[in-house]
Structure 1
Amino acid sequence: MERINSKQNQRIKTVKKLTTAKGRKQQHQYLLESWHLVQAALEALPATDIVMVYATDDQYLAHGAALTDQPVTLISEAVAQELGDTQTPQGIFLVCELPDVVNTIAPKGAWLLLDHVQDPGNIGTMVRTADAVGFRGVVFGTGTASPYHSKVLRAMQGSQFHLQVVEQALPTVIKQFQEHQVPIYGTELNPAAVNYRTITPQTDFALIMGNEGNGMDQALLQQTTKNLYIPIQGHAESLNVAIAAAVIMFRITAH
C-alpha cells in the first residue's frame, strides 16, 4: 500500500485542485471528506466511479475492514490538513468520478428545482428533506452553488446518493416537464399565488425554490402551473427558504 507523507507530493497537489470548480472540471472528478460521506459513497457508487481513498493511519485503523476491496493510499496528518476543508479534518478522503452530464430528465416522481440558491446549508437541508420525503431528484439550476462544492457536499450528508442530482438550466427542465403535462409549482407571494394547502397531494410534480434574498427569477414565475405561498400568522416577514421548502414538500407530496 502506497504512503504519501509530503503535501508537496504531485498527486496531493492534483487532488487539492478538486477543491476548485476549475480543477473538478479539468479532471472530471470531485473530492469527499469524512468517513460518513466516504462510506455513503462506497455503498452507493459503482466501483468504476471510485478513484482513490486517502486515509491517515488512525482512519485506516478505524475503517480498514470496510476498505478491503478499495484502492487506498495512506497519508500523513500534514497531508490530511492540506486536503481538508475543515479546521480539524477527520483524515479520510475519497476521489470520485463526476457523473456524466444529464441533458434529459424523466419527469416522473417529485423533483426539487433550485433557482440561484447560494447558501450550502440551505441547499443541504433541502436535499436532505427531498430525500426524506421521497423525491426522485434535485436540479441545481444556473446560479445555484455546485453540488460538488465541499461545503455543499458536507451539508447534504450523503442524501445526494439517494436521489438524482442534476445540474441543468431550469428553463430547459421546465420545458421537459411541460411537454409531459407535469405541474410545476413556483414559490412566490404575489397576487396570483395560491395557499400551498389548496394543492392536492400528488406524485408527479416539480417544485421551484428561489434565491434566499431575491426569490424566484421573474421569468420562471411566468412558466409555472401555479405559484404557492405559505400563510404567516405571526409578525415574521418571511421563512427561511429551506424551512419553506420542507413545509411545502411534505404537504403536497402524495404517500
Structure 2
Amino acid sequence: MSVSTPNSPHCKLALWLGAAGLLATVALFPYVIQLTPQKFSALHKPLWLVVSLASLETGLLCFAFAWLGLYLGASLGLDAPWLRAFVYRRPVQGESPARWRLAVLFGLLAGMVVVGASALWPESAGQAGYIASAVSQAWRGALASLYGGVVEETLCRLMLMTLFVWLLSKLRHGQAKAWMYVAAALFAALLFGGGHLSFAAALGMHAPMQIARIVLLNAMVGCVFGWLFWRHGLEHAMLAHFSADIVVHVVAPLGFS
C-alpha cells in the first residue's frame, strides 16, 4: 500500500475531499429537515440559500482540514492511500481485498451495537413525531450516511486524530509510538461523540442519560473508525462509518417499522 511522504502533494486530494464534503452536506439536508422541521419553518431566508451556504462552508472546511491532516500525516503513516492513488494516478500495491470486507464488517457490527443499545436505552419520545414514515426516513438516512462517511471522517479522523498524534510525537522528538495513535483515536472519538450533542439538543434531547448515551455510543464507534484509519487508511474508516450509518439510518427504520 502506497503512503504519502513529506514531499507528497496534498492540495489536489484535499480539493477532492472538500468537494465530496460539499456534496455530502447537500445530501444531508433532506434528513435534517425531516427531523427538525420547526427549525426550517422559522427561517427568514430561502431554503436553497441556506443549503448552499452551509454546504459551501462545510466544503471549504473539509478542504482546509483535509490538507492539514494530509500534510501532518505524511510523516506519521496516516493517509488516504487509495484516494491518493486515484487522484494522482499512482498504483496501489500490497492491499488485500479482505481489508475492505473487514471495514464493512466492522461498520455493520458497530451499527448493530448502536441500534441494539438504542433499543435498550431509548431516545426521547418526541423524536418519533418528526418521522413521517419508515421508507421516508430510510431514503433520507441513506443520503445522510454520506455525510458521516465523508465529512465526519475527514474532520475527526484525518484532521483531529492526525493532529493529536503529531502533537504527541513532538514529545518524543517527532517519533510517533503506538500508544500515541491509540490515545489520539480515543480523544478524537470523544470529540466525535460530543459533536453530536448540538443536533441532539435540536431534537429536544437534554436529559443527562440521553447526553451520556449519545457521547458514549458515538465515541465507541469512533474508536473503531480510528483504528481502521491508523491501520489501513482513511478510506477504510470512511467505508466503515458509511456502513454503520446505513444500519442505523436505513436498515433499523425499515426493520422496526
TM-score by length of 1: 0.23
**Max Rg structure:** 1
TM-score by length of 2: 0.23
Which structure: greater strand fraction?
Answer: 1
Bigger relative contact order, structure 1 or 2 (CA pairs below 8 A, ≥6 apart): 2
